[in-house]
Structure 1
Amino acid sequence: MSENSGNSDNTEAPGTPTPPGTPPGPQPEPIRFFGTTWVDHDGGYALRRAGVAIGALAAAVAACFVLRFAFQGLEIAEVGSLVGMLVIVMFAICSAVAFRKTWEGFGSRPKDPAREDALRGLKSIGFIGSLLAYFFRSLIEAPGEKLRRTEYESARAQFEKRRSTRTGNPAARKRPKRR
């Protein structure tokens, strides 16, 4: 399941009972590896950010070693310098695109989900770029925190606004005069 999928305002269907201890209104959307600890920066949030940063960097370094071994395999197979150069250029371009798309995904929802699905294969090839985007973003915040926080705060504000306009006795409201 995609981490960007789901209901944007996270409100339950009317009449659905909320679990005890859960405040009414929209609930924060969990972030991969962080859950909902990003809301109040509690529950080991700092340790999780450090863990994600270290893990993403370690995975990127390991992936570079694996790609180096694959490239050595191409050299052993004596496929030629042109094929070797094409492989290097392909991984560099795919990693750059994957980095950019992953970084953009932390700040906004995709405008065209079908296009994002079409780029999934390219992002898979350039997985090192995605890992580096996770590393750099986790140095700043939980990846996707700013987007989720903005959506959550606007949903809370809309909920409070709707809730405050419904207070009071509806029978006591002034009725418009009929002609």
Structure 2
Amino acid sequence: MDASLMLFDKSRPEIVHALLAATHFNLREVREGGMDKQIMGDKETYWFAHELLRIPYKFAPYHAGTAGVLQKSAAGKENPNAVCGPLAHMDETGKLLHVNSRSSWYNHALDDWFASLEFYITPATSLPGNIDAQQQPWCVLGNDEEGAKKEVFAVSEAEKALVAKTKALNAHLRLGWQKYLENDL
């Protein structure tokens, strides 16, 4: 479950109610008043609001991966079975759909990361490989050499264009809404 990409049918009143409840749970005074001790942030407030109001919801049944560059050893050798970068989401066919650009802001410069976007990894099985969180950006390791053929992909021009569009939209929304939320986030 990750909150970097969420789709809502806001024409359904019950969805709007759940979003308002989740927004309330994410207010600073609610979080600091004890909510943070019970849940792990915005991902769970979305889920919790829907559960509390008994409104059906779904999560994409696909594994998240990461997008960026191949992992390099201390000697500079690339590992073709591991990709390092921010969290990435795939579409129903396993193609790169979205990259959590917020995480790339915190890990390193967004423009530098986007310029080096070459590969993504999407676990092909229900038992994905290991995550190396000791370095930043984090790295997702495929299951094995054979698995790399099924899990590590070069980013296509179409996928890079889609990521660029969502990156621009994210930047626009972040600047546009930040002034309204800076006291509550």
Normalising TM by the smaller chain, what interval?
under 0.3
- TM-score normalized with structure 1 length: 0.24
Determine which structure has the larger strand proportion and give its number.
Answer: 2
- TM-score normalized with structure 2 length: 0.23
